[in-house]
Amino acid sequence: MHEPTAHTPVVVIGAGQAGLSVAYFLRRLGLDPGNEFVVLDRGPAAGGAWQHRWRSLRIGTAHRIVDLPGMEELGISFDTADRQAPAKEVVADYYARYEQHFGLQVVRPADVSVVENNGAELLTTFADEDGEELTVGSEIIVNATGTWGAPFVPWYPGRDDFAGRQLHTQDFVAAEEFAGRRVVVVGGGTSAMGFMLELEPFAAELTWVSRRPIDWVDDTHDGNLEGRVEAVAKQDEAARAGLALPSIVSGTGIPRARRVQQGIDRGLLVAHPMFTAIERDGVRWAPGVREDGVEFLPADAILWATGFRPELRHLAPLRLREQAGGVVVAQGTSWRDPRVFFAGYGPQASTIGANRAGRFVARQVVASLSRINAARRA
């Protein structure tokens, strides 16, 4: 058990959209940043996971980035940002200005390694920029760590024997690195589709494979609201049951924007069935799986655009996970430990959901603190 070196009533872990949203509403509800609550962030700078994304990802081609609550006070909005600007730079700039404007006093880099029980107190241990371990005690934890730190790569026979390059979305830097290479892109979501478009001018050969058929939807102004509502409902159902969370895109589909439809028309954005195995110099399908009869495809690189899982390893000592693989979360609160709140988890994972959850979670946190303080006085 780590000994606490400081104490604050509330610790928020993560300063991406969900964490900053919670912090904003905690401040509005009267808690003092840096004293009555502290935000710990692993990143070297503001921007959440966006600061780690590849430079060629532009504001105009990324998923819609929703403004943080109260951002209008700064006179900035992602809706009016330069659509050709790198998303990572714009988000980092806006988030940094947001943190400063509202005085959120985010502590970074603060790499949280573990959260432990200590009677009525929760202990959060993190490493600072010098690698020194510090432990802060609190009554409440708000986990807003998102998924970027937990990339998912499915196992296939021969995966570890592949002689070429394998990388995940998290590792992608620039399409130019694949000039003249034969690349297989794996995944059924918007990231895989985006990689296909980015790699097209550079790769010698480019093949897209997916474990499920691609669900194309018409590109509408509301961003497929009906599908989005259904996807969020499925996330909520899984979170309440403690199941592993389903993919958001499995419920929303991929919009056929103009550049996407053009890619479909020229034969680029055609996903083949998933290969059966990986060999040293390529990938292999079982006979008859591909309509064109191809059974083996030479490859120099495999790009796994296969998504992420919630980053919850640091919460392992609290034993929140269910046998089904997930955490039971309802209305942002862990059912196994009501001192632990989740922001940006399950149905809150979308950018719109993260903002709404920020307000809701902050209110619950303040109410819980009031109950705790009343019990102490009694």
- Identify the burial level of 378 via C-beta atoms within 10 angstroms of its C-beta, where 0-12 means exposed, 13-18 middle and 19 or more buried: exposed
pTM of the model: 0.84
Contacts of residue 105, defined as CB under 8 A and 6 or more positions apart, other chains included, come to: 33, 34, 38, 39, 99
Mean pLDDT lowest among 26-30, 72-76, 290-294, 325-329? 325-329
* CATH number of residue 179's parent domain: 3.50.50.60
Q: Is position 339 within any domain?
A: yes
Q: Average pLDDT over the chain, rounded to whole?
A: 87
How far is residue 23 CA from its own chain's centroid? 18
Instruction: Examine the domain organization and report whether 143 and 266 are in the same domain.
Output: no
291 assigned to some structural domain: yes
pLDDT at 237: 54
Q: Is residue 222 part of a domain?
A: no
% of the chain surpassing 70 pLDDT: 87
| Residue 139 sits in the same domain as residue 202 | no
CB contact at 8 A, 133 and 3 = no
Are residue 102 and residue 50 in the same domain, yes or no?
yes
Question: CA quadruple 239, 240, 242, 244: dihedral positive or negative?
Answer: negative
Residues 44 and 66 in one domain: yes
If asked whether residues 280 and 316 sit together in one domain, one would say: no
Same domain, 62 and 172: no
Q: 14-18, 43-47, 177-181, 345-349: lowest mean pLDDT where?
A: 345-349
* 322 within some domain: yes
User: At residue 247, does pLDDT exceed 70?
Assistant: no
223 has a pLDDT exceeding 50: no
Q: How does residue 337 score in pLDDT terms, banded at 50, 70 and 90?
A: very high
Helix/strand/coil for 283: strand
Q: Are residues 295 and 198 in the same domain?
A: yes
Q: Is residue 59 part of a domain?
A: yes
- State the virtual CA torsion across 281, 282, 283, 289 in degrees, nearest 10: -120
pLDDT band with cut points at 50, 70 and 90 for residue 137: very high
Residue 22 lies in a domain: yes
Same domain, 318 and 189: no
CA 337 – CA 333 distance, rounded (Å): 8
Domain end call among 271, 304, 337: 304
Out of 263, 285, 304, pick the residue that ends a domain.
304
Residues 81, 179 share a domain: no
Question: Is 170 in the same domain as 137?
Answer: no
Q: How many domains does the chain have?
A: 2
| DSSP string computed for 83-100 | TTSBHHHHHHHHHHHHHH
Residue 59 tokens read as: 């504001």
Whether residues 282 and 312 share a domain: the answer is no
Amino acid at 194: G
With respect to residue 103, please indicate whether it lies within any of the assigned structural domains. yes
Rg (the chain; Cα; Å): 22
* Amino acid identity, position 319: R
d(CA 120, CA 101) in angstroms, rounded, equals 34
Domain edge (last residue) among 262, 277, 304: 304
**Does residue 17 form part of some domain?**
yes
DSSP conformational letter for 364: H
Structural domain range at position 356 = 6-149+308-377
Q: Are residues 172 and 279 in the same domain?
A: yes
Residue 222 — pLDDT band, cuts 50, 70, 90? very low
pLDDT at 197 over 90: yes
Please determine, for residue 239, whether its predicted confidence score (pLDDT) is greater than 60.
no
